[in-house]
Amino acid sequence: MTMKLRKLAGTCDDGTCPNVYLSDRNTLVLQGDAVPSAEGLVLSPREQAVELTVELGLGAELTRYFDEFKVSAFRLETQQTYTMPGEQPNFELFLAGGERPAGHNAAWHGRVETIVASGRTLRRAKVIRRPLTEYLRYQCAWSIPGNVAAGEDYRMVDITEHDRGLPDQDFWLFDEVKVVHLDYNPDGTFIGAELVEEPDLAQYHRWRDVALSHGVPFDEWNAGAGPAG
């Protein structure tokens, strides 16, 4: 019987780039560039090693949290630039004045639509400082509108003139009780995701509430205007 796969994480939808799948046998199937040899790597004749980005491997773990949460998920985004390998071709196309490709970010939009259709909520607050970085311009023009159309509650929190006491730490808050930190290098490259053990939930709830109360819904936000709220 042919194995059935469900994609947990990946950078493309056409099956031609690195992906992580969950099989109907409850196993993981990894798709990526073959690694024929490397120091410390010993393969049997029937084995093959593949190379994936750290971002992609940890993305599969984050997917599990999205599958498991029951009521709500909230994301605080604090970086002004995210350097994600899967986004680079489209980001460079945007900078060159190209047109947004059909199906841009379709995998995430599909996940958002599934979450919203199930009655769960997905909210995000993006902390911004002016002038906007090129990456934020790209997100505002090509990425965020699709997220909103799919059903994501997306707020823009402008702290250029007013510090709201928000942390520099990106995190997801699932069902009010599970906190996952997302760590990045100064250049925006992804380091890893970490489930916080025994988090100070009152503090994370305060940060969420401050971000949402001072955030402007993306559809009402004017990228050319000054801070509001």
Asked if the bond preceding 131 is cis, omega within 30° of 0, the reply is yes
Lowest-pLDDT range of 53-57, 84-88, 181-185, 196-200: 53-57
pLDDT band at 3 (very low <50, low <70, confident <90, very high): confident
pLDDT at residue 12 in the model: 53
pLDDT at residue 228 in the model: 45
pLDDT at residue 214 in the model: 97
pTM listed for this prediction:
0.77
Q: Which domains does the chain have, with CATH numbers?
A: 1-35+46-52 (no CATH), 70-220 (3.30.870)
pLDDT at residue 19 in the model: 67
> Which residue stretches of the chain are H helix?
54-68, 88-95, 106-117, 134-138, 144-150, 201-214
Mean pLDDT, residues 97-111 taken together:
92
pLDDT of 229 strictly over 50: no
pLDDT at residue 63 in the model: 77
pLDDT of 64 strictly over 50: yes
Percent of the chain's residues with pLDDT above 70:
76
How big is the CA angle at 170 (ends 31 and 19), to the nearest 5 degrees?
5
> Which residue stretches of 16-102 are H helix?
54-68, 88-95
pLDDT band at 53 (very low <50, low <70, confident <90, very high): low
pLDDT tens digit sequence for 170-214: 999 999 999 999 999 999 998 888 899 999 999 999 999 999 999
